[in-house]
Structure 1
């Protein structure tokens, strides 16, 4: 396949690519084809002038643009025919009566050139195999002998004009190599625009995927920051509640110990053992464990109630109570504060 000459599309120079792919070399340039087109325009002008340079037809002809070329690089079949005539070649319309009378199998021909909407391309036999040398393809396309007739029929159905190339084509390296060997093609070449579109699409997909991945990572980081913030808030609240419970528990322990060590006892009663600094119990349940099971608000209410009772006990006694107490001391049956 590397030995096959294949010009790819540049601008609108498909006629040039068609001729060079047909002849398998850089035989024509846009300047040379433009020169042929200008020569044809001059010949047409001379023929139109024969009817009179003052005629309406002649003035209309001069006002019209050239029918053999334009600024985009298009060249007419007349230009291509004159260019092929330099090499002794002649294009013959494939579906013309003249050719149909010959009843030649397309496989036995040497080459075809095809045109549709100002686009030209070549189909040529190299060695014993046929190739589609369309300049819009990324490379030569192998066409089997069985498929050739169907391929040409499909082109005609799509509106293509097909010309058979009659005459001896110049020798080329690809024809010599493919006479002694055959090639196989695993993948058909793509259109140039199709390949670029797929490449661009692949790039867009990669960029989009990278963007989505980056956006997803940013969302994950934001969620993680929120979760950590909430966790810290919960920990702070839990720490404050735990500190409050411990403070209430310690204060209640301190009050209980004070009442046990400074209270009064009956005369003759055995001295009370100083209680060990253990948690006060209520109904067999330790105050520490009880405070752990109560809510913060309940602990506050119980603590306030205890302080209220203490304040009531600390109020001064009445005169009647003082007299009774004095009499009791004289008889020795009252109680006195322990030293």
Structure 2
């Protein structure tokens, strides 16, 4: 199986992360995410769930609503827990929110923004499917994945979402 990887366009990292987790460029569209924003804040002039410029920058509420369209859920990972408690075999993937420097062309501005990235196992190997990367980066097997996640979680402001089916979320079988 080849690895599907969407590259960054505008501020659509949430869209790219969702499609990269599901390994299907047709899973979600900007139009669907914009509709979800409207449903989350009907009648609002400035929608708080996306960029006021209409270029993306969707928040976690949009990601959670999008996952529900696929009969899935986002489970927030409590950083105080040990990653060894995770049952990797029942997870569809991960969506990580990391601080990212703001770029204006080639110049890095000292403003930190949030960036969504996807991590997914494909044929027994985990991949970092960050849309800012030119191609997927191999993480490796379970142990290397846990090390990668530990490193990410040490970043100030990093948040980890587990992408699971509704059944796994309800039964909490993502925990050992």
Instruction: Quote the residue 1:18 is aligned against.
Output: 17
1:133 aligns to 2:133 (yes or no): no
For 1:82 and 1:108, the matched residues in 2 are separated by 20
Q: For each residue in 1:279-312, what CA deviation from the matched residue of structure 2 results, as whole angstroms up to 9, or x when unmatched?
A: xxxxxxxxxxxxxxxxxxxxxxxxxxxxxxxxxx
For 1:41 and 1:96, the matched residues in 2 are separated by 30
Q: Is the Cα contact below 8 Å between 1:107 and 1:148 reproduced in 2? A: no
Q: Tell me the secondary structure at the aligned position of residue 118 of structure 1.
A: strand
The match for 2:164 among 163, 166, 173 is 166
1:75 aligns to 2:72 (yes or no): no
Superposed CA RMSD: 2.6
For 1:110 and 1:122, the matched residues in 2 are separated by 11
Q: Which has the higher helix share?
A: 1
Q: Tell me the secondary structure at the aligned position of residue 92 of structure 1.
A: strand
TM-score, L = length of structure 2: 0.74
Q: Which has the higher strand share?
A: 2
Instruction: Quote the residue 1:39 is aligned against.
Output: 39
For 1:96 and 1:147, the matched residues in 2 are separated by 18
Q: Tell me which of the two structures has the higher relative contact order, counting C-alpha pairs closer than 8 angstroms and 6 or more residues apart.
A: 2
Within a 5 Å distance, the mapping from 1:61-210 to structure 2 comes to: 65-70=46-51, 71=53, 72-95=55-78, 103-106=85-88, 109-116=91-98, 117-145=113-141, 146-159=143-156, 160-167=158-165
Instruction: Quote the residue 2:30 is aligned against.
Output: 30
Residues 32 and 17 of structure 1: CA distance in aligned 2, closer, same or farther (over 3 Å)? same
Unaligned residue ranges in structure 1 (runs of 5+): 46-61, 169-339
Could you list the runs of 4 or more consecutive aligned residues of structure 1 that deviate by over 4 angstroms after TM superposition?
Answer: 105-108
After TM superposition, give the deviation of residue 66 of structure 1 in Å: 2.3
Instruction: Quote the residue 1:216 is aligned against.
Output: none
Q: For each residue in 1:112-166, what CA deviation from the matched residue of structure 2 results, as whole angstroms up to 9, or x when unmatched?
A: 1001232111000112111111101111111122221111111111131110111
For 1:83 and 1:110, the matched residues in 2 are separated by 14
After TM superposition, give the deviation of residue 107 of structure 1 in Å: 6.7
For 1:121 and 1:93, the matched residues in 2 are separated by 15
Within a 5 Å distance, the mapping from 1:317-336 to structure 2 comes to: none
Of structures 1 and 2, the larger Rg is shown by: 1
TM-score, L = length of structure 1: 0.40
Instruction: Quote the residue 2:8 is aligned against.
Output: 9
For 1:141 and 1:105, the matched residues in 2 are separated by 22
Q: For each residue in 1:40-62, what CA deviation from the matched residue of structure 2 results, as whole angstroms up to 9, or x when unmatched?
A: 012xx7xxxxxxxxxxxxxxxx6
Q: Is the Cα contact below 8 Å between 1:106 and 1:149 reproduced in 2? A: no
Unaligned residue ranges in structure 2 (runs of 5+): 99-112, 167-176
